[in-house]
Amino acid sequence: MILNRQRKVRVAVRTLDKFLARACKELRVSHDALTVCLVTNNEIKKWNGAYRHKNKPTDVLSFPATASKNGRIARQFTRKYLGDVAIAPEVARANAKEFGRTFEQEMQILIVHGILHLMGYDHEADDGRMMRREMRVRRKLGIE
């Protein structure tokens, strides 16, 4: 499910929700195992400060519902609620422009990235494992 809690950037929520369903299927996660919430820059900045000690807006944050075991969420949890992904469309729009992608592609990339974090991946500590998985999934979903 995708909730749009911001109004600054127009987002095709239905189209994005269809992509979310495809991404969940590819990652073998139930579509109802997570929620994606589109938030303002102020909201994501506040959370980024509180949880990551970075006083600036970011594009995506993931909030797992269950603590991971050894850096990975056990396979059995993929059928339960994994958690929430917060995305700031305003930051995503700026990033899309910077990276030469469409806004839709950037939002799709952030959804995949956020889900992988909910699944227990951590690109800051896994020696490239998350990035390799993300790139495989992106290729399969057509968002290289």
Assign residue 128 the CATH number of its domain: 3.40.390.30
Are the CB atoms for 107 and 39 separated by under 8 Å?
Answer: no
pLDDT of residue 68: 54
Taking all residues of the chain, what is their mean pLDDT, rounded to a whole number?
91
Structural domains counted in the chain: 1
Q: How far is CA 9 from CA 16, 22, 119, in A?
A: 14, 23, 28
**11-65 pLDDT, tens digit each:** 999 999 999 999 999 999 999 999 999 999 999 999 999 999 999 999 999 999 9
Range of the domain at 103: 2-141
Residue ranges with strand state E in the chain? 2-4, 34-38, 60-64, 83-87
pTM exceeds 0.85, yes or no: yes
pLDDT of residue 97: 97
Strand order in the sheet with 2-4: 2-4, 34-38, 83-87, 60-64
Which residue, 93, 84, 100, 86, is CA-closest to 8? 93
Poorest-confidence range of 68-72, 90-94, 102-106?
A: 68-72
The tokens for 126 are: 């896994």
Poorest-confidence range of 39-43, 50-54, 106-110, 120-124?
A: 120-124
The distance in angstroms from the start CA to the end CA of the chain is 24
